[in-house]
Amino acid sequence: MTDTAAESEAGDAVAEDAREGHAAVTGAGSGNPAPVPATGAPVIRTRGLTKRYRGGQLAVDGLDLTVAAGSVFGFLGPNGSGKTTTIRMLMGLIDPTSGTAEVLGRPMPAAARTVLPEVGALIEGPALYGFLNGRDNLLRYDRADPTADPRTRRARVDEALARVGLAAASAKKAKAYSLGMKQRLGLAAALLRPRRLLVLDEPTNGLDPQGMREIRSLVRELAAEGTTVFLSSHLLDEIEQVCTHAAVMARGRLIVQGPVADLAASARGRLAVTTPDPGDAARILKEHGLTGLSADGDRLTADAPPAAVDLADLNAALVGGGVRVRFFGVERGSLEDAFVALTGEGFDVAG
Amino acid sequence: MSQAEKSQAEKSQAERALSSDPRGSRNPLWTLGLLRSEITTLLRRHRTYALLGVLAAVPVLIGIAVRIETGGGGSGGAGGPDGGAGPAFLAQVTNNGVFLVFAALAATLPVFLPMAVGVVAGDAIAGEASSGTLRYLLVAPAGRTRLLLVKYASVLAFCLIATLVVAASALAVGALLFPVGEVTTISGTRIGIGEGLVRAGLTALVVAVSLTGFAALGLFVSTLTGSGIGAMAATVGLLITVQILDSIPQLSGVHPYLFAHYWMSFADVLREPVHWDDLVKNFQLQGLYVAVFGSAAWARFTAKDVTA
Ligand SMILES: Nc1ncnc2c1ncn2[C@@H]1O[C@H](COP(=O)(O)OP(=O)(O)O)[C@@H](O)[C@H]1O
Ligand SMILES: [Mg+2]
């Protein structure tokens, strides 16, 4: 499990605060935000949601998804696994072939007019009017919302620009923006009003590491304020770093969903021993019934033993057998291990 | 944030989630914000100015050509004011600059004016789709019917602006290059300059209304494709096809149903009294096109998968 030291450096005070608070709950210190208890009605709920495109491509197949209020929900899957298609259905941009979707407790796309003002969305990257400047782009999107109060419009636009760090560039034409700036402006459009749900489709796509860190810390900040965030990504470590809950998609089907910590734990961890006597260590571990042994220099790993086996006994056996143990412990599984275990295929294989 | 504050925030979050109050009341006037945004956005594109610039140049070219042709001399043609075939109203321009308004509208109505309208109408939805901004307007949520109405209203505004640009340019050039005075109607009677200008304004309005059917057709085409350029090309292609069909005598049976068929009836505004028959037929035909293609555009757009 990688730590997120680099993240922390970039993260600002608010994000830090939020995670500090969570650390007490998990006690894991893994850098994962704690799972927020699932209270209230689900913010997103789909039943048998299916989309077959005109061309015959079955993009989403019988999706049953539940996103609890207050969670940072990672929607994970390789390219082409149906993430964007699902988001388009949730936002009422396309009609499902079959099945139902509810957002904020109301059916989509039927209730789009009442639901969407409370939802901010970034779908498949930003889209802007290149001949308008940053501020005018936001003004136009805000005017498109018939429930947005025109009296507070300018103030809200300025606030959103400041929030994503674009205040200084707001008078520049959008076509002169860099990809990162466009992405931020898209995010600002999603933040024009206080939202109950933010839907972010691969928000760090195409950004440099610095831009990624900034977007992620903004997401944490928003989540800490109580906004439910639905974040799609094809980056496993992104989901592990940012999300409390996750669903894994492959070829249009939902493989698994649940708290990120549970998902990662469901992948069996590995017992790792570092020793100058790997041969003896391997023999002793084998005698104790451990499987999946593999040695790499002075590092020996094996499938984690079942919970009934006390690791202390195992360690004592090694030491008692004359093995000089430099390191001994179980390395927890990552989301990637979980994905490989669940699908039997590497994560980079497109559906 | 402390644990207590955190759980407090969660509670209020849950409460908000449970309350079914749709937040923010919907003021019907706020919907005009989108129309204003649409028109100002249209007027901030270089393309719009290029189109209007071409339209404004036509009367200038006509005015200069007529001026050179007649050698700047006083006595112009006493050509019969029949308003029929040939370059309409051109003969009268030398005697009265006001006639340049009618001449310029007659010259731009068959192709230039509708072509400009076709570009704007064809691009209305398809252009937003190809730039990806359509999905963000829809999740704002602009509302599909509302957005379509606003788009059509802005295309109509462009019809009026484009026609007025031609008329205003023609009036300015006409007043600059030619004498201005009493207007001889097609019926042969003479009306005062004030009345003549009113007729000119009325003519521009009639021309703008003549374009409404074609504008609806263009909007419909715009909902069919995700390519702005494709929709513009298809719309302008339809215009040219219809103009060709309208000029083939063997097809006279379908002529009354072609949107361009009664366009030239605007000349009847210049009769004394105004000759309404063909004007009314024109308005009815335009109304039919607006109803048919407006509904088609609505049916298509409200059911469309927006994936771009
Ligand atoms: N507009 C479309 N028409 C037809 N097929 C599509 C369309 N959009 C996406 N697809 C197909 O649907 C599948 C899922 O795509 P998508 O939802 O974009 O995946 P993801 O966002 O997870 O990368 C892919 O096989 C893709 O080729
Ligand atoms: Mg995608």
pLDDT in tens, A214-269: 888 889 999 999 899 999 998 888 888 889 999 988 889 998 888 887 777 666 67
pLDDT at A35 over 60: no
Number of Cβ atoms within 10 Å of the Cβ of B295: 12
Binning pLDDT at 50, 70 and 90, where does residue B19 land? very low
Q: Is the ipTM of this complex over 0.85?
A: no
Question: Closest-lying ligand to the alpha carbon of A77?
Answer: 1
Best mutation target, B31, B139, B301, B306, to test chain A (most A CBs within 10 A): B139
Best mutation target, A57, A140, A149, A195, to test chain B (most B CBs within 10 A): A140
- Torsion angle defined by CA atoms of residues B132, B214, B174 and B267, in that order, rounded to the nearest 10 degrees: -170
Range of the domain at B45: 14-302
B4 occurs within a structural domain: no
Ligand 1: which atom is nearest the Cα of residue A124? 21
CB contact under 8 A, B141 and A121: no
B25: its two tokens: 């009341």
Q: Which chain A residue is nearest to residue B29, measuring alpha carbons?
A: A146
CB contact under 8 A, B141 and A43: no
Number of structural domains chain B divides into = 1
The count of residues in chain A is: 351
CA of A67 to the centre of ligand 1 (A): 22
Return the higher-pLDDT residue of B83 and A133: A133
The residue to which tokens 């939202």 are assigned: A195
- Which of A91-105, A289-303, B129-143 shows the lowest per-residue confidence on average (mean pLDDT)? A289-303
CA of A350 to the centre of ligand 2 (A): 12
CA–CA separation, A217 and A204 (whole Å): 11
**C-beta of residue B235 within 8 angstroms of C-beta of residue B293:** no
What mean pLDDT is predicted for residues A12-27? 34
Helical (H) or strand (E) element with A114? helix A112-115
**C-beta of residue B289 within 8 angstroms of C-beta of residue B205:** no
pLDDT value, residue B186:
81
Calculate the alpha carbon distances from B41 to A126, A133, A238, B36, B141 in Å: 19, 11, 38, 8, 18
B1 occurs within a structural domain: no
Put simply, whether B12 touches A (Cβ < 8 Å) is yes
- Torsion angle defined by CA atoms of residues B249, B250, B253 and B258, in that order, rounded to the nearest 10 degrees: -50
CB contact under 8 A, A88 and B46: no
B308 occurs within a structural domain: no
Q: Which of B89, B60, B57 is nearest to B76 (CA)?
A: B89
B88 occurs within a structural domain: yes
B8 occurs within a structural domain: no
**A266 CB-contact burial (10 Å; exposed 0-12 / middle 13-18 / buried 19+):** middle
Return the higher-pLDDT residue of A223 and B94: A223
CA of B301 to the centre of ligand 2 (A): 23
B245 occurs within a structural domain: yes
The residue to which tokens 């961890």 are assigned: A269
B83 occurs within a structural domain: yes
pLDDT value, residue B20:
36
CA–CA separation, B305 and B276 (whole Å): 44
Q: Which of A188, A192, A202 is nearest to A152 (CA)?
A: A192
Q: What is the pTM of this model?
A: 0.81
CA–CA separation, A76 and B86 (whole Å): 69
User: Which residues in chain B belong to E strands, given as ranges?
Assistant: 183-184, 190-191
CA–CA separation, A199 and A190 (whole Å): 9
Residues of B in contact with A131 (CB under 8 A): 44-46
CB contact under 8 A, A144 and B45: no
pLDDT at A51 over 60: yes
Residues B225, B231, B235: CA angle, nearest 5 degrees: 135
Instruction: Output the ligand 1 site: residues, CB below 6 A.
Output: A 53, 55, 57, 59, 77, 79-85; B 307
B175: its two tokens: 């007043």
Q: Which tens digit of pLDDT belongs to each residue from B38-88?
A: 999 999 999 999 999 999 999 999 999 988 877 644 444 434 444 344 456
pLDDT at A340 over 50: yes
CA–CA separation, A63 and A89 (whole Å): 11
Ligand 1: which atom is nearest the Cα of residue A57? 5
Q: Which chain A residue is nearest to residue B25, measuring alpha carbons?
A: A147
CA–CA separation, B87 and A332 (whole Å): 86
B3 occurs within a structural domain: no
Provide the shortest C-alpha distance from residue B148 to chain A (in Å). 12
Calculate the alpha carbon distances from B49 to A199, B54, B211 in Å: 38, 8, 19
**C-beta of residue B282 within 8 angstroms of C-beta of residue B211:** no
